[in-house]
Amino acid sequence: MGCASSINISDRVVYHRGKDSEDSHSPQQTNATLQSQHQGNPALGIPAKPSDNKASITEVEFGPMRLYKEQLQVLLVFAKDDSQSNAFCWACEKASFRCSIARTPESALESFLEKHHDIIIIDHRQTKHSDAEALCRSIRAVGSSENTVIVAVVKRPDREEASVMPLIAAGFNRRYVENGNTMSCYNELIQLERGEVLAQVKLRACNALFTALEQSQDAVEISSEDQVIQYVNPAYETSTGYQRGDLIGKEFIEMPKSEKNKPDLLETINTCIMKGKEWQGVYYAKKKNGDSVQQNVKITPVIGQGGKIRHYVSIYRSLNDNNKTDKFSEGVPAEPHTDVQLSRHRDRRKGSLDVRSTTSRGSDGSSQRRNSSMARIHSMTIEAPITKVINIINAAQESSPMPVSDALERVLEILRTTELYSPQLAPKEEDPHTNDLVGGLMLDGLRRLSGNEYILATKHPHHIPSHLITPLSLNDIPLRVAQTMENEESWDFDIISLETVTLKRPLVFLGLKIFSRFGVCEFLNCPEATLRAWLSVIEANYHSSNSYHNSSHAADVLHATAYFLCKERVKQSLDPIDVVAALIAATVHDVDHPGRTNSFLCNAGSELAILYNDTAVLESHHTALAFQLSTRDDKSNIFKNMDRNEYRSLRQAIIDMVLATEMTKHFEHVNKFVNSINKPLAALEENGGGGEEDCAGSILTSPENRILIKRMLIKCADISNPCRPLELCIEWAGRISEEYFAQTDEEKQQGLPVVMPVFDRNTCSIPKSQISFIDYFITDMFDAWDAFADLPNLMQHLDSNFKYWKSLDEQKLCTLRPPPE
């Protein structure tokens, strides 16, 4: 057998003539022909070709793998030169593919055995010269040909279209109807490269993956979407005693099950994985000999075509295999995988615990920690509720498998911290507005960095100015004020209009009406005149010079509080003393606010920060001053006729609610509310059945949950501006921004740390600040409050307001409103 006559395009034109190449051109003729074609022949549809075609390496992404494919090799099997073979030659050069030509079946087979081409194109038009189908079968008989794409060039049909089945039966992948146009051949090759050849490259990579599975020490099982077993590796055979033949093709439910598993475990697993979530946990597998073996199992759904689950990959690891450090966690649903690796996205607002990270500890270390934990717990002489929880966990650790024990140890570490509900917030470089809001509202601030002592610039005397205590009752309210307050029971009530008609004294007028509607005087057993005097005192101690934290804000929060108190579920939850406490707390919650944040006061070393040890400085001051003002003069002491015990309960409730407005505990209050109230109520609604009302009543009226409801109520009332009608939302956004601008100005003047640098009046984007505030603080809280109190109108306002700020930001506007057209 002679060597193949071939033209290697990448080496320019190199011609090898063998004994079997009788019909081939001479070297000189072939070179002349190719050089002529290289200059281009428009009449034949052959464009001119560049002469510098170098081999290239192509990267192919295959899931998490990166494959490197060398320059494609093409074998053309044509008994003689014609326009079709020449067109394919030049198509290969244009595509930068290496090209070889064989004239006989024997030389074609020999060339393939030497080079293992990616594409073979066989002339099927001239049966008298060679049997194309026989040659294809011969090539397919070679084991390495399974990843080669073979194309048959067939005649253009005269009449009926011939069936492709004989070609497929012979081993061809495709047929090509003769067409000597170079561009047509080029297009065919490119489609082959991007289609069948690329698929074959990926299939070849699967051999490496299966080799890894075969060598893995973990037992691996792959099943179809119907949970029919399709593959198990040798480690699986070893761990279970079954052979592949015993398992392949069987459904998982047909396999023997261990009685040691909980009855509902399989149902739990199926429910989890059929939703596309990964399941991890401990499972007892039944071996072929009948023994049960405890294993850590991870079952991962693989999402494929159409976004549907196409396979399940199960990894089994014996629990007594202590030499592996990567343990699975107990019963933890996780995210599904896809045929192409998916990246995992976390909500930037949430801090989450990766449970799997709790199980990567060695057994020796965890045992030492467990013993030390037990020693600490047993040394305690007072068993608080948290102590009982820790004792229960320690007891469970002693009888738990190692992954569970390690996870429980991590739980103990978390329980020993003080901030159980507050997420751990990492800085977000891409979102300075959120960073500054978190820093300014949730942190206590840097401790004193200079010798500056900040004294409140405007000291309001804590007495009742004479012009504010003019005898006044509901009957004496001026007509214009009364008309403005006619719709005060509506959420869309315009507090700014009331501020205008009352000459910045809305709190007295609105307070009189709301307190009267809720019967506060009757509950407190105090005359209306005392209430009038008290409201006047409180309002006089709000700073009208503040753009935001003034008596109009207090009146706004009082209005929101009253609105929430009328909601049916809130009414079911709270007692009369809770209602009165909520209204009073809303009225006094920001009294004597200096228009500066807690962080500012701490940094400035203010008298208040020193007095309250840099902790909840303003909130502590508001409550303390409110009770000082209330009890200083009998004429304004609304509490003087109360029973002592009842007064103490009322006072404690007011203090608790005002302190809840401090933002450092924001996430703690929201999370407690969701976990203690929302979730139990939702579970009741889902389960249905008898006694639902009684169970819901016990959830709503328990003393602990009433406290959580009151905290959530005043928190939502305090920062409800984004849920107001758009015009009010814009007004309040402008006011709070101005107050923050003034703080930044003063920090710069006094050389103090700038708590919120983005609130520089020259550079700040108000829309961005509102978007961050809504995203970070408002959305989740009001979702939870709406689920409890049913507030669709608020949520509609919130959605439309958010879209308004978004639209301004997308237009690159930094102002409250778009410019006039």
What is the CB neighbour count within 10 angstroms for residue 370? 19
| CA separation for the pair 119, 138 (Å, rounded) | 15
| CA separation for the pair 584, 317 (Å, rounded) | 61
Smallest Cα–Cα separation from 362: which of 325, 392, 389? 325
Residue matched to tokens 């080799």: 211
| CA separation for the pair 234, 762 (Å, rounded) | 69
Q: Give yes or no for a contact between 268 and 275, defined as CB atoms under 8 angstroms apart.
A: no
What is the separation of C-alpha 110 from the centre of its chain, rounded to a whole number of angstroms? 57
| CA separation for the pair 466, 644 (Å, rounded) | 31
Question: What are 423's two structure tokens?
Answer: 């997420």
- Please state the three-class secondary structure of 315-363 as a single string: EEEECCCCCCCCCCCCCCCECCEECCCCCCCCCCCCCCCCHHHHHCCCH
Handedness of CA 707, 710, 712, 718 (dihedral sign): negative
What is the CB neighbour count within 10 angstroms for residue 597? 22
What is the CB neighbour count within 10 angstroms for residue 380? 11
Q: Give yes or no for a contact between 602 and 445, defined as CB atoms under 8 angstroms apart.
A: yes
Q: Which of 337, 433, 543, 549 is catalytic?
A: 549
| CA separation for the pair 333, 353 (Å, rounded) | 13
**Known catalytic residue at 549:** yes
Residue type for position 24: S
Kindly give the interhelix angle for 27-38 and 83-94, rounded to the nearest 10 degrees. Answer: 60
Phi-psi region for residue 688, left (φ > 0), alpha (ψ -120 to 50) or beta? left
Question: What are 688's two structure tokens?
Answer: 């249905």
| Residues 214, 220, 222: CA angle, nearest 5 degrees | 105
Q: Are strands 219-224 and 229-232 parallel, antiparallel or unpaired?
A: antiparallel
Q: Give yes or no for a contact between 814 and 765, defined as CB atoms under 8 angstroms apart.
A: yes
What is the CB neighbour count within 10 angstroms for residue 781? 20
Give exposure, 562-592, as e/b (b: 16+ Cβ within 10 Å): bbbbebebbeebbeeebbbbbbbbbbbbbbb
| CA separation for the pair 801, 729 (Å, rounded) | 7
Q: Give yes or no for a contact between 464 and 540, defined as CB atoms under 8 angstroms apart.
A: yes
Q: Give yes or no for a contact between 583 and 558, defined as CB atoms under 8 angstroms apart.
A: yes
Q: Where are the alpha helices (DSSP H) in 486-550?
A: 495-501, 506-517, 520-524, 528-540
Q: Could you tell me the CA-to-CA distances from 119 to 194, 602, 608, 736, 815 in Å, in that order?
A: 12, 75, 82, 70, 63
Beta-bridge partners for 238: none
| CA separation for the pair 23, 147 (Å, rounded) | 31
Q: Could you tell me the CA-to-CA distances from 558 to 493, 590, 701 in Å, in that order?
A: 12, 11, 23
Smallest Cα–Cα separation from 454: which of 567, 576, 609? 609
Q: What are phi and psi of 231, to 5 degrees?
A: -160, 140
Strands (DSSP E) found in 403-543: none
Residues 6+ apart with CB under 8 A from 456: 594, 606, 607, 608
| CA separation for the pair 454, 601 (Å, rounded) | 7
Catalytic residues: 549
